[in-house]
Amino acid sequence: MLGKGKNENYADDARTKVSTLIGEGTVFDGDLTSPETIRIDGVINGNCTCEKKLILSAEGQVRGNISAQSVIISGRVDGDIVVSGKLELLATGKIAGNITAGSIVIDEGACFDGRCTMTAALSSYPVGSLPDKQADQQNSSGDHKDKK
């Protein structure tokens, strides 16, 4: 499903050099790690760590956690996603898990069930690692009680 259409991000995908391709109909059981871009058209039953871009096509599925510099999701992810840069969830994409990203774009029609945390500080940490939460973080729940 490359080319022009409702999701013009696919045109950018066609110019991206992909070093690892998991083809449609392929099922990979185990953790997948790559220093380059990964495109998944099949099914991954395990965690995916990519130092560059991870592209999940509309036919692709990941049943595990994803960690990458940038991610484009058109298929289904059942797991948490940590992205140091931009995460794009396209109209056919479905995520059941938490997202931590520097920036996020969600197309109309996409499904997301989880919690999203956006932070610019992620770019200073290597892919696959998260900083420990600071002990002095303040509660930002916004609970206020009116006194009468």
30-61 pLDDT, tens digit per residue, is 999 999 999 999 999 999 999 999 999 999 99
- Name the average pLDDT for the chain: 81
pLDDT at 148 over 80: no
Contact 16, 88 (CB under 8 A): no
pLDDT tens sequence across 79-109: 999 999 999 999 999 999 999 999 999 999 9
Q: In what order do the strands lie in the sheet with 43-45?
A: 27-29, 43-45, 61-62, 76-78, 94-96, 111-113
pLDDT at residue 13 in the model: 52
> Lowest mean pLDDT: which of 2-6, 48-52, 91-95, 121-125?
2-6
Query: What is the pLDDT, as a whole number, of residue 121?
Result: 53
Helices and strands (H and E) in the chain: how many: 1, 16
Say how many Å lie between the first and final Cα of the chain, rounded: 61
